[in-house]
Chain A
C-alpha cells in the first residue's frame, strides 16, 4: 500500500557550500553587477587617452626626424616620459574596463553549480543563458506524487454504491 505524497512539497536540496558560507557568496552577485556598470566608461576613457598618446608619439617622431638640431634616425629617438606614462596608464585602464566587462565565470563542479542556482534562482541571469541557468532540480520538484490505488478504488466503489 502506497502512502500519498504531496508533489508540491519543496525539496530544499542545498548541497554545498554550508549554509554559514552562503551569505558570502550571495553578496558576490550584486557587487559584480555594480562593478560591471563601470566597465564601459573606463574602456572609453582609456581608449581616448590611448588615442591621444598615439597621436603624441606620432607627432614627436615626425618633429624630431625633421628638426635640424637632432638629425637622428626615427628609431633611435626616445619618447618623452609622459607619453610612456600616458600609454601605460591608458592600457591598464582599458584592461581594467575589459576585465570588469567580461562575464562572471560559472562554477564547474556540478554540486557547486546546482547549489548556487538553487539558492539564487534563475532570475539573476539574462535570457541568453536561460537553459544554462534553469533550476537543475526542476525534475525533482515538479514530479508527480504517488497514486494511492486502493483509496481511489474504494472511493469509486462508494461512488458506485451512491448511484444505486
Chain B
C-alpha cells in the first residue's frame, strides 16, 4: 500500500531501469569472460579462482560506480556508494553482476587453463 503510494508520488521510468540493467549486465558478462582468461593464464585452482573472480568483479562494480555513477550521484547530494539514482535496489549494482557473469567466467577459466597447461 505505502510502496504503491510512493510509486505514484515518485514515478519510475521503466525504460531507464531496463537501460541501466542492460548496461550493467553487458559489462559484467564481458568482464567475467575476461577474468576467466586471466584466471586460466595464472593457472588458479579451486577456491583461488573464485576468490579472483569475486575480487575483480567487485573491482569492476567499484570502477563503474566511480566513473559513471559518482559524478552525477554525488552532485545530486547523495551519500557515497549510494546507487539509488540509477538502480532501484541498494544491492543491485554490487552483487547482481557476480551471479550474471559466473557461467562465462567458468567457461573461459577452464578453456584457458586447458590451453595454457596442456
Contact = CB atoms under 8 A, between A and B. Distances in A.
B117 A100 contact: no
A111 B17 CA distance: 14
B31 A95 contact: yes
Where chain B touches its partner, the secondary structure class is helix
Contacts of A96: 63
A102 B27 contact: yes
A105 B20 contact: yes
Interface residues of A, number: 45
B56 A99 contact: no
A25 B12 CA distance: 20
B71 interface: yes
A27 to B, nearest CB: 8
Interface residues of B, number: 44
B112 to A, nearest CB: 7
Contacts of B19: 103, 105-106, 129, 132
A82 B37 CA distance: 17
Interface string B16-32: 11011001101100110
B77 A17 contact: yes
Given A95-B63, A98-B31, A104-B68, A110 B13 contact: yes
Given A87-B42, A108-B16, A95 B56 contact: yes
Interface of A: 17, 21, 24-25, 27-28, 31-32, 35, 50, 53-54, 57-58, 61, 74-75, 79, 83-84, 87-88, 90-92, 94-96, 98-100, 102-113, 129, 132
